Amino acid sequence: MKAWSWVQRNPSAVLLFVQLGGILLYPFLEGPGDQVGTLILSVFGMVVLGLAVATVRATPSLTWVAVLIGVPAVIFTFVDVFTLGAQPWHLTSDVFHAAFYAYTLVALMRYMFSDDKVTVDELYAIGATFTIGIWLFAYLYSICQGLVPGSFAAAIEPEGQRSWVELLFLSCTTMTSTGLSDVIPGKPHARSLVMVQQIAGMLYLAVVVARIVGITLTRAQQARPRAARRPRR
């Protein structure tokens, strides 16, 4: 089947589309009583993450790292849902999710920089890695909020705990440097995390653009001698 063949060739594209689809679905799962939907979406997203990483490039050692982090993350996701976000289960779940997303980020970066070619799937991986970074910092914000209550304030219920969608929105606007979020860091630790993400987002774009331009220039320089050696007719 052509569709399945395309999926096998472009696992990073599937990961990117699932991440973007999650952004559109999360608001429908935000209210009370939607724990089951949140659970399904969270576990499904992690499964796609694991499959994408396993497909693009995973040595046996890295695969075991993914299992050791991913399995507890799934287990604590169930515990978090059935305990209605009670501590310390919610914080523990966030820690394992953050670790798994960090592992995925490193694996995709290694995949993109493993050779001197830019394939179609690696172009999708650029976008997928960017969204993975957004999710990673959203979980780090959630961890910060769990350890230091009141880390983030907003125009609506400024003293309350920020929801997952609010933290994801803050992470997205920070990573893209748009500054459109109405959620602001109110404590020193939260502000430090935001500054680190701002720097990481800028460095990521700079490194990726530099790599693509560098590979393009290198190919052009290598093509010139070959063209010059061709016999003239």
- The answer to whether 130 and 18 have CB atoms below 8 angstroms apart is no
- Rounded distance between C-alpha atoms, residue 169 and residue 178, angstroms: 11
Which residues does 80 contact at the CB level (< 8 Å), separation at least 6?
A: 89, 90, 92, 93
pLDDT confidence of residue 158: 81
Q: Which tokens is 53 given?
A: 């990483």
pLDDT of residue 228: 55
Average pLDDT over residues 105-132: 84
| pTM of the full structure | 0.86
Q: Is the pLDDT reported for residue 128 higher than 80?
A: yes
Place of tokens 């953050």: 98
Specify the pLDDT at position 195.
95
Distance CA 45, CA 22 (A): 8
Per-residue b or e along 88-117, where b marks 16 or more CB atoms closer than 10 Å to that residue's CB: ebbbbbbbbbbbbbbbbbebbbebbeeeee
Comparing 35-44, 117-126, 154-163, the range with the smallest average pLDDT is 35-44
* Interval 125-150 mean pLDDT: 93
Strand bridging mode 152-153 / 184-185: antiparallel
pLDDT band at 204, cuts 50/70/90? very high
Mean pLDDT of 1-21: 82
| Structure confidence by residue, pLDDT tens digits, 79-103 | 887 887 788 998 999 999 999 889 8
**Average pLDDT, integer, range 64-86:** 82
As a whole-number percent, the residues of the chain with pLDDT over 70 amount to 82
121 band by pLDDT with thresholds 50, 70 and 90? confident
For residue 75, the model assigns a pLDDT of 87
* φ, ψ at 154 (rounded to 5°): -150, 170
Transcribe 87-147 into DSSP letters.
Answer: TTHHHHHHHHHHHHHHHHHHHHHHHHTSSS---HHHHHHHHHHHHHHHHHHHHHHHHHHHH
More confident residue, 40 or 93: 93
β-pair partners for 184 = 153
C-beta of residue 127 within 8 angstroms of C-beta of residue 74: no
Identify which has the larger pLDDT, 200 or 40.
Answer: 200
Q: Output the average pLDDT for the chain.
A: 82
Geometric angle at alpha carbon 173, from 172 and 178, rounded to 5° = 145
